[in-house]
Structure formats: structure tokens, C-alpha cells
Amino acid sequence: MRTLARGPRRTAAVLTASAALLVGLASAPAAEAASPHRHRPVTLDDLARQHGRYFGSAVDNPELADTAYADLLGAEFGQTTPGNGMKWDATEPQRGVFDFTSGDEIADYAKAKGLKLRGHTLLWHSQLPSWLSSGSWTAEELRAVLKTHITQVVKHYRGKVFAWDVANEIMNEDGTYRENIFYKTIGPSYIADALRWAHAADPKVKLYLNDYNVEGTGAKSDAYYTLIKQLKADGVPIDGFGMQAHLALQYGFPYQLQQNIQRFADLGVDVAITELDIRMVLPSDATTLARQADWYSQVTSACLAVRRCVGITLWGYSDGHSWIPSTFPGEGAALPWDENLRHKPAYDAIHAALTAARS
């Protein structure tokens, strides 16, 4: 859920006519060999699709101006999530006045590149417009505001997104509800209401709850497990749970990840790794990059091991466009590509994990 890289994609060299003559190739085979489709490298999303998953990366609007970055994203990945363009402050900057400019730019980009688009996010305690966060609301008034916002945004993107992060980061670390403006004014019923309103606006879109620090078992993920189980029992439309997976080497790996994904899947919902990055204390070195690569491999393998883990999304794919350094001073190097769009060991580890599972 965070604010969110450059370099050309390497392609195979085309045989020239003179080279074909030197090696005694006929002109027809030479032309066949020149086809770029026969030499396109196998991408992470190619491999993920062989398992019925997607492999994606988030993107923020300013990054689309970085042509090399945007081109590589469109070539390597099969899904994208807007970093900020669909959040409340972007889509409804004034009450009842909707602006879909930023979200539409990414939706148009995704369509042009053939990428699945995830909607992010309908409600969150952060990045709310001041008219909302500073307002004085009764429960009835705020419910009406929330219903209007969700209905208008979901209807606008109906048929363009395959899933929505409906409610984002609604739990505290101890498993209690975060006291955001919606909880304090309406109470916990706003969550079920939001899901129902989103479903009414687009009955075909998948509806998710999404949060960080829920990759392993513990109070926070237990709270989501209990909530989703209750929502399902109450007939509330809930299709998935998003595990953000903003991991950090210094805090240890969530070794219960696969088990945790499985228990949510057993509730009858999909699970997605929605915002994956793995940061470290800088400077990086061969040891930390190798450890990071191992973690990326483990996350990938954990998702592949559970049938209802539907895909993995990096939160940006290059260190050149990462939110980490500005948010966690002294930390970074969190992504599988470096600032110059060169593969790091993490990329090779993800590729190997996807390939091994295929084998």
C-alpha cells in the first residue's frame, strides 16, 4: 500500500543474410530464426501462468514516464496494481467530485500492455482527503459518504479490474480493530457494508481484505482469520485475503507462511501476495543479497504450494523506484532488479523457484 526503475529488455540478435550464407543456412530458415517471438526470453509471468498464477508489479503514475521501466514492466509481468492513483485522495478530492485521471492512466496502460489490473484501495485510514478526515460526521452521514465513494469508484472501473482491495490495513498488531475514522464513527460493521456495496457495484469483481505483518501466524493474522470466517458465515461477499509481505531481513522470515496461506484458503477464499518487497540495512553485500534471494524463493514456493494462492505482486520491481529508502532511512535494495534494471540474485531465485515447480 505504499508509494512506489530503467533499462532495455535484452533480445536475441537477428541473423543477417551474410551470416546465414557463412554458416550455410537457407534464406527461409534464416528468416524463421529472425522471428522475435522465437527468441523472447521466458518471463516470470510466463512461468507463473504455467501454474495458473500471475506474477505482477505495482506501478505509480510518475513511473510511466520512465519509458524503459514501463516497457520492461509490460513485458516481464502479467498484472499490475496502481500505487496511488485509485486511493481516496486521488479519486474523490472533493466530496462528490470524482477524478479518475490517475487511475485511468494506469488502467489504460494495463490494457495496452495486456496486464491484469488490481484495484487498490477503496478505503484506508491514510491518504484520505481533508474534507473527509477533518469532517465531523454522524454514523449515518459517514455510511452514506462511504457507500457513495465505493459505488462510484467500483462502477467506474467495472470490467477493468479483476479484484479490489476493499478494506486495507484495518487491524492493529495485537489483533484489535484499527481505530480509523470509519471504525470510530460507524463501528466494525463498516467492513461488511463496504464489501456488500462493492459487490453490488460490480458482482463479478473479486473482493479482498489486505494488510501487512500477516504473513505468519499471530494475533494480527488470527484476527483476519476470525473476521473472514465470520463474514463468510454471515453471507458477506468476500473472495480473498491479501498478504502484503513487506519483509525485512533484520526481522526474520515468516516461516509459517505456507501454513498460513493454506488456512485462509481452507476458509474458501483466494490468497494473494499483494505488495512483496524484502528490504535490508544498507549497504547490501553478497551475503545479504543471497539471503534476500532465498527469501524471494521461499515466498514464491509457498504460494505455488497452495492451490488458492492466485498470484504474487511486487511493490514495484526495481530499486530505482522503491518506496523503501524514503520511508525507512538506511534501508533499501528491496527488489529483484537494481536501479539500472539489472537482475539481482533475487530475480534468478524467483525464476528458479517457478521453473523447479514446473518441473
For CA atoms 36, 38, 41, 47, the dihedral sign is positive
E strand or H helix that includes residue 309: strand 309-314
57 bridge partner residues = 314
Q: Which of 292, 299, 354 is nearest to 324 (CA)?
A: 292
Cell numbers 502479467 correspond to what residue? 78
Catalytic residue among 63, 76, 92, 275: 275
Please state, in angstroms and rounded to a whole number, the distance separating the CA atoms of residues 131 and 291.
45
Catalytic residue among 63, 92, 169, 215: 169
Q: Is 275 a catalytic residue?
A: yes
SS3 call for 234: coil
- Name residue 294's amino acid: D
DSSP string, 236-296: ----EEEE--EEEGGG---TTHHHHHHHHHTTT-EEEEEEEEEEEESSP-HHHHHHHHHHH
Q: Is 179 a catalytic residue?
A: no
Please state, in angstroms and rounded to a whole number, the distance separating the CA atoms of residues 8 and 71.
8
Classify burial at 91, counting beta carbons within 10 Å of its beta carbon; exposed 0-12, middle 13-18, buried 19 or more: buried
DSSP string, 97-134: B---HHHHHHHHHHHHHT-EEEEEEEE-SSS--HHHHT
SS3 call for 174: coil
Please state, in angstroms and rounded to a whole number, the distance separating the CA atoms of residues 183 and 12.
55
Please state, in angstroms and rounded to a whole number, the distance separating the CA atoms of residues 188 and 332.
36
List, by residue number, the catalytic residues.
169, 275
